[in-house]
Structure 1
């Protein structure tokens, strides 16, 4: 700029600091208003889970395993092991197929020896699927359940490796494996030290006039009554039980099987779901076992309610009853119509979530 003679140069003022100061002051005030417990909270550790299942007797076990894998992909849980109470050669290979499909082929799988052996079902169909060239559709290493280690040994080893009070066990089959764990040397002490809670799908706790039949005996209990009686009488940590009525109130929709699993040509859960009822597909199926898996990892999401504390007992015929008892070790789950809608939405989203193979 040209300056005339006699003009005096203007003094330049540095930029004011007031806006910056005001910004910093507001930030400091906002930080001061945040409760101390909400500042710099570390991410919660994934819930450590052992899944004990009668895989193959119903397809809800497969859906429950898929949900656990999805929750692990989200960083919410860590699947430590799967133990099988169905003494049938293809139950464990199917578990290995699902684990491998989700990118976790090294999860330990243990099997019962001399246990209950209902007839083979969808797991045999899926394990035997071949493509046009005769090759197995699904990659997996365990081809015969009789080659897998015994379940109680797997439970003892895996539990011993975990921090105290860190494990949730999800039992969605017979009580054989866990009753045998209690009979093993040091078993009750190991459970009391390592297990936080046991989530069990068993029994019926609904209104008597709505039971499926008079004197109803739920399948998981009825197949090994002695083990179920021992489990509820002797298990040393809290037990939460999802009864028949809870899963019956939440049907997994066949529309999801038809719509949400098509991101691959073959999906072991979809193929298992279709094979389970074969010509009767499409069908909606109760989510009995999925309820316990979901509760194990998301106990505070409001999907289910809890009864008062009390004690579950099993009689000689396998009939389950509950008695309220202050400070009792057992509760059973409840579900309202609104909760059933929310739980079903979560189950569909999680079970159909593609594997995380990054």
Structure 2
């Protein structure tokens, strides 16, 4: 059975149609990403848009923690490709000046500037390449949270903790009379984060690049946090045959083009960031299993440790079983390659 056939079979079994009388409100999601450093961020964005097309989530905002001028425009281009050009996008900046980790362009941010033979943008967007004209991420986060219903928002962080740590420190303002910490406590249901290595490895990349912000988040974030560590995504490599086969419905598609620029197929890229995004929207589908409750600590050298404690605010993903692995990969393949609404 192909991955796609398996996906359809599993999704039918796991997701029967709801009775006509039942309606479930879409899950509000904020996606905080270091788009441009690795291609799993782009795949996770595509998956969230597919889930939005299915009515399962509403993407409130995208905030970028990669300090390159093309990160936010590419995020806007992906949103536009999926028919949502008005989703707010914020940059890791302070007063319009980029201020954060990893300023290098990376391998695929150039897609934000790619043009067709007639000079038009290959992936249209209207967000400026000048950071001075892009909203600061903290402003975007505060607006998205202030406008949301209490206790409903799933925050997905798949890059550095820079933006969310700054949110915690933000004071009351014209957007909300609440501090950033109080705003998160009131509006957020859960933070699903791809960060850390809980298998005894060294400092994981997302933590290492802004260790202080990661430590602040682990210590001070006021809602439950579920941590998807390094080895979870490694155990779930994206099927490269899907990149070659399943996106042909569009002459230009930002997901496979980003993937091939990052590292061409037949490379099977780990799906680190997709794990946190899938959990946020489908927390009760049994895709993953978890540790007992406890607390994650970010050590001085950037290593992450987890200690069980009754009533603790954190859980860590446990390595997937063979059955979970097959089901998760089939779901990733189906959702990431799902044609956008209207195509």
Confirm whether residue 75 of structure 1 aligns to residue 59 of structure 2: no
Give the unaligned 5+ runs of structure 1: 1-37
Please give the per-residue CA displacement for 1:183-223, whole angstroms capped at 9, x wherever unaligned.
111111111000000000001123x3xx4xxxx11000000
Q: Computing the radius of gyration over CA atoms, which structure comes out larger, 1 or 2?
A: 1
Structure 1 residue 42 displacement after superposition: 3.0
Q: Distance in 1 between matches of 2:29 and 2:130?
A: 21
Note the aligned Cα RMSD (angstroms). 1.5
Structure 1 residue 133 displacement after superposition: 2.7
Counterpart selection for 2:185 from 174, 189, 192: 192
What corresponds to 1:167 in structure 2?
A: 153
Q: Distance in 2 between matches of 1:306 and 1:41?
A: 33
Residues 75-224 of structure 1: matches in 2 within 5 Å?
75-113=55-93, 114-144=99-129, 146=131, 147-185=133-171, 186-206=179-199, 208=200, 211=201, 216-224=202-210
Q: Distance in 1 between matches of 2:21 and 2:220?
A: 38
Compared with structure 1, are the counterparts of its residues 274 and 228 closer, same or farther at alpha carbon in structure 2 (3 Å cutoff)?
same
TM-score, length of structure 1 as denominator length = 0.85
Number of residue pairs matched by the alignment = 312
Please give the per-residue CA displacement for 1:262-306, whole angstroms capped at 9, x wherever unaligned.
1111101111011112xx433110000000000100111111101
Paired residues of 2:32 and 2:155 also in contact (CA < 8 A): yes
Paired residues of 1:52 and 1:173 also in contact (CA < 8 A): yes
Structure 1 residue 39 displacement after superposition: 9.0
Q: Distance in 1 between matches of 2:106 and 2:333?
A: 23
Confirm whether residue 54 of structure 1 aligns to residue 34 of structure 2: yes
What corresponds to 2:258 in structure 1?
A: 272
Give the unaligned 5+ runs of structure 2: 1-17, 94-98, 172-178
Paired residues of 2:64 and 2:90 also in contact (CA < 8 A): yes
Compared with structure 1, are the counterparts of its residues 356 and 340 closer, same or farther at alpha carbon in structure 2 (3 Å cutoff)?
same
Compared with structure 1, are the counterparts of its residues 204 and 356 closer, same or farther at alpha carbon in structure 2 (3 Å cutoff)?
same
Paired residues of 1:70 and 1:350 also in contact (CA < 8 A): yes
Structure 1 residue 119 displacement after superposition: 1.8
Q: Distance in 2 between matches of 1:39 and 1:87?
A: 46
